[in-house]
Each structure stands twice: as C-alpha cells, then as structure tokens.
Amino acid sequence: MLRELTIGALARRTGLSVSAIRFYEERGLIHPGRNAGGQRRFARSDIRRLSFVLIAQRLGYTINEIAARLAGLPDGRVPDADDWQVMAEGFRTELDARIALMQEFRDKLDGCIGCGCLSLKNCALYNPEDRAATKGVGPRYLLGDRPAPIQDTPAPRAL
C-alpha cells in the first residue's frame, strides 16, 4: 500500500478535479511535496484535509476563510484527531451562529407572511437599518459585507 498519492489519485479519492487541487495548493489549502521528477506527492491525510475544504465550502465559507481555519492544523506533521477536534470546534460555533441567523430570518419571514406586512416600515425583513444590524452573516458573495453604496456621480472633472 502506497504511502503517498499522486494528484490523479487524490482527485479520484476526493471527487475534485486535478486543476482544482492545484488551485487549492496555490491558495495555500494543501502543501504537497514533490518527487524527484517534480511531480506532486500528497499525504493520505490530505484526503481528509480536502474533504474538510469541501464541507466548509458547502456551508458557505470562502477559500480564504477555510485556509485560515486550516492554518490551525500543524503543517509539519500529519494532523491527528486532537488537531482536528480543536479546529472543528471553532467551526461548529460559527455554524451554530449561522444556523441561528437563518432561523431568525425565517421567523421574520413567517411574521411577514402572517401579517402580510412585507411593505411596512417596521417589518424586520424589509427594514434597511435592520439589514445593517445583522451584517456579516449570510452567504459568501456578500464579500467584505457590502461597503457604503450609492455611488454614481463621477469625480469632478478637472478643467
């Protein structure tokens, strides 16, 4: 039984594409070694690592966020159960918060359906102030959590 995996083998084991794995390396999610011929050689623990990446992505985390979480794992040695546990706990906390927020939104939506208020100033879902108050939560392409908008009005032209 081989101790190391080629990129193709890792792709088959994780369901990822070869190019995605190379990309993940570039973004710092995995750090494969190289053989004499310059080809990547992956540790078996990288399967786990990539599985974690996939799960986290499904939950809405960006690659950068995932990289930050993975940074908690030892890089020199193969991560053991304790390493994973520590990391997964922080992850779980965030997940709980995220679920709570979705439920909150759902309940608000329920309220709005019940009273048919989706148009009222005091509707929690509708209210822009409210949105500002709950920022930093949703899915990911809310990148940087939408900075102050209302632009348009090009810079004063010189001359």
Partner DNA sequence: GTAATTGCTCAAGTTAACTTGAGGTCAAGA
Partner DNA sequence: TCTTGACCTCAAGTTAACTTGAGCAATTAC
- Catalog residues that contact DNA under the rule CB under 7 A: 6-9, 11, 17-20, 22-24, 27, 35-40, 57, 62-64, 140-141, 143, 146, 149, 151-156
- Name the helix (H) or strand (E) containing 96: helix 81-115
Greatest Cα-to-Cα distance within the chain, rounded to the nearest angstrom:
74
Q: Looking at beta carbons only, is 68 or 110 nearer to a second copy?
A: 110
CB 63 within 8 A of CB 27: yes
Interaction pattern, residues 52-91, with a second copy; x per rule: CB under 8 A: x-xx-xxxx--------------------xx-xx--xx-x
How many residues in total does the chain contain?
159
Can you state the percent helix, strand and coil of the chain, rounding each to 5?
Answer: 50, 5, 45
What tokens were used for 50?
A: 């990539």
Residue numbers at the binding site for a second copy (CB under 8 A): 8, 11-20, 45, 48, 51-52, 54-55, 57-60, 81-82, 84-85, 88-89, 91-92, 95-96, 98-99, 102-103, 105-106, 109-110, 112-113, 116-119, 125-126, 128, 131-132, 137-142, 149-152
